[in-house]
Chain A
Amino acid sequence: MKILVCVKRIPDPDESLKFAGGGLDYSASKWVPNAFDEYAIETALRLAEVVGGTQRLAEVIVLGIGPESQRQQLTQFLAMGADRGIIVDADPDKLDTATVSKLIAAVFKKEACDLLVAGKLSQDNEGGQVPQRVAGLLDVPQASFAATIEWDQGAKVLTVGREVDDGVEVKRVPLPAVVSVDLRIVLPKSVKNGSTPATHAYQEGPRLASLKGITMAKRKPVAVLKPADLGVAVGGNEQVVGIAAPPARKAGQKVKTVEELFEKLTKEAKVI
């Protein structure tokens, strides 16, 4: 079993945005991993490892697309426990969503992977497309917005609880497949791999790298590929032609009492 996890770095979402020249100035930004990609790695590791044992059920490969200098970003995921890394060396500003998806699909094929685990969304661009596109390109089933995963190793099937508008949909997908993960995948009992005791409760959230993990990460292999090595032409037919701050909401008012609030809602805003 081989699990591919694609990760992306984004400007720290807790920093305020700097608007400049019809765009955003990220030159002074701190770059951090997209939170959903950290959840994706955590998910892959929970599938791969056997808590209380030493065996590994899967190899976890972490894939980053961006300049080779991004290697450091991968190190963090390797330190969490991924087995090896792949970087596709390309300028992310020149890649549109369709091209990124093609690169990921090409790596999936080249490595003969069984599962892609990806975040459902990048917190900066918020396209929410890449995992579904990769599934379409690979012609494999997909389970988007996963909140829970159970792996039936014998049947080679994942049973995925998906966060949908009406509630949670339960979908069984045979491997190979693509899964995109939502927030609740990192709750203590969201991922069951059939070997770790089903009663095991993980600590909530993505794991922190251990000191040993950080030391080992430096020795883990990271391959660097060019888009041409994967037979993917770099380009795109999407173009950002402007970025602006949204209109600010009108300054509101503080009310002193519930009576005053009620008065405002009924007489001024007329919403009750």
Chain B
Amino acid sequence: MSNVLVILETAGGQIRPHSLPGITCAAEIARATGKPLHLLVLGAQPDAAAQAIAAAGYGAAAVHTLAAPALEPFTAEAWADAIVHAARTLGASIIGGTASSTLRDALPRAAAILDAPLVSEVVKVKSGDTFVRPISAGRALQDQKVNAGTFFFTARGTEFEHAQPSGAVPVQAVAPAAVNARGAVVQGVQKTESSRPQLTEAKVIVSGGRGMREGANFKSLEQLTDLLGGALGASRAATDAGMVPADLQVGQTGKIVAPDLYFAVAISGAIQHLAGMKGSKTIVAINKDAEAPIFQVADYGLVGKWEEAVPRLIELIKARKGAA
């Protein structure tokens, strides 16, 4: 019987949290199609992570491992080989996971090798073959139907809950396969060092835009961020101007985020920025221009200068914390 296969990412012997929404999306597809849910862990030594994942179960029938030295560090080339091999071996007909930079790189390649369609950035499962996905910077939602025996999907991480532990399931090893990086070599990842939560995981995000004028001014946003235990973000105008590193960019061309609380400070609200944050639960906009489009999506809008508003807000929050 064919099944639904979710590709997971792991680090330090654990599932990476951003993989969990992909399981939830796949579980909905599994329910809609009546197919069993299976999980796949790839790596040089995937066993420890697979055991930890199998202990949680996440509603799957089994956790599978595929081990090969060439699977670490990640390359789309080797991962696509492994995913194709595992899909064939396990008889998977629906293959996917969270739309991270890793799976956005590897899954289309694997889909092409299997001559299968891929539905990207699914935000809702309508039925076993029809999915809702945003297009044109989130200004429209498209219902896409696939008419194929085998297909792939990626799930937008902000639109599905994290999968919850259910109960232990078995771990099974997929027979090894020839996987290789086609001569590509990963030399490393230059990470932006930060003690703050990841943008895509944070409950609170404080973002600054063009109106911050220079990088040094982000200090005051950082203070607000840390007071709230949040992550720092930025609009494309701010990252392009070099005020903060590029990977802080929120928007169609940056990170898609949906925290409980989003502060847009000195951000005008270009369509491409809104596409990355309008799923946030509560949006606060602080901008001196009363006509800025950001006010159209903000739950609370304050027309005023950030230079005055942000320090005052910090004072009020500190006072409350002191009193508590």
Name the A residues within 8 Å of B187 (CB-CB). Answer: 159, 170-172
Name the A residues within 8 Å of B137 (CB-CB). Answer: 13, 123, 126
Q: A55 near B: Cβ within 8 Å?
A: no
Q: When the two chains form their complex, are residues B134 and A126 in contact, meaning their CB atoms are under 8 A apart?
A: yes
Q: When the two chains form their complex, are residues A264 and B300 in contact, meaning their CB atoms are under 8 A apart?
A: yes
Provide the bound-state CA to CA distance between A109 and B113, in Å.
16
| Residue-wise interface mask of B (35-56) relative to A, using a CB-CB cutoff of 8 A (1 in contact, 0 not) | 0000000000000000000000
- Interface Cβ pair total, 8 Å cutoff: 256
Q: A240 near B: Cβ within 8 Å?
A: yes
Provide the bound-state CA to CA distance between A168 and B193, in Å.
12
CB-contact partner of B278 in A132, A169, A249, under 8 A: A249
Q: When the two chains form their complex, are residues B309 and A258 in contact, meaning their CB atoms are under 8 A apart?
A: yes
| Residue-wise interface mask of A (156-180) relative to B, using a CB-CB cutoff of 8 A (1 in contact, 0 not) | 0001011111111111111001000
Which one of A45-53, A62-70, A73-81, A136-144 contacts B? Answer: A136-144
Name the A residues within 8 Å of B108 (CB-CB). Answer: 128-130, 132-133, 136
Q: B273 near A: Cβ within 8 Å?
A: no
| Residue-wise interface mask of A (26-43) relative to B, using a CB-CB cutoff of 8 A (1 in contact, 0 not) | 000000000000000000
Name the B residues within 8 Å of A182 (CB-CB). Answer: 253
| Residue-wise interface mask of B (148-169) relative to A, using a CB-CB cutoff of 8 A (1 in contact, 0 not) | 1000000000000000000000
A201 → B minimal CB distance (Å) = 13
Could you tell me the dominant secondary structure of chain A's interface residues? mixed
Q: A93 near B: Cβ within 8 Å?
A: no
Provide the bound-state CA to CA distance between A145 and B134, in Å.
20
Name the B residues within 8 Å of A211 (CB-CB). Answer: none
Count class of interface residues, chain A: 35 or more
Nearest CB in chain B to that of A251: its residue: B296
Q: When the two chains form their complex, are residues B139 and A17 in contact, meaning their CB atoms are under 8 A apart?
A: yes
Q: B302 near A: Cβ within 8 Å?
A: yes
Q: When the two chains form their complex, are residues B140 and A132 in contact, meaning their CB atoms are under 8 A apart?
A: no
Q: When the two chains form their complex, are residues A165 and B101 in contact, meaning their CB atoms are under 8 A apart?
A: yes
B129 → A minimal CB distance (Å) = 10
Q: When the two chains form their complex, are residues B271 and A13 in contact, meaning their CB atoms are under 8 A apart?
A: yes
* Residue from the set A19, A135, A240, A258 with the largest chain B CB neighbour count within 10 Å: A258
Q: A112 near B: Cβ within 8 Å?
A: no
With A135-B109, A144-B105, A261-B284 in contact, is A124–B146 under 8 Å at CB? no
Provide the bound-state CA to CA distance between A124 and B138, in Å.
10
| Residue-wise interface mask of B (90-113) relative to A, using a CB-CB cutoff of 8 A (1 in contact, 0 not) | 000000000011101111111111
CB-contact partner of B112 in A132, A159, A243, under 8 A: A132
Provide the bound-state CA to CA distance between A100 and B174, in Å.
33
Q: List 24 A-B contacts (CB under 8 A).
A: A14-B271, A17-B136, A126-B120, A126-B136, A135-B76, A136-B108, A141-B181, A141-B184, A142-B105, A165-B100, A165-B200, A166-B192, A167-B191, A170-B188, A172-B185, A173-B184, A174-B184, A238-B147, A241-B143, A243-B142, A249-B297, A252-B300, A261-B284, A262-B320
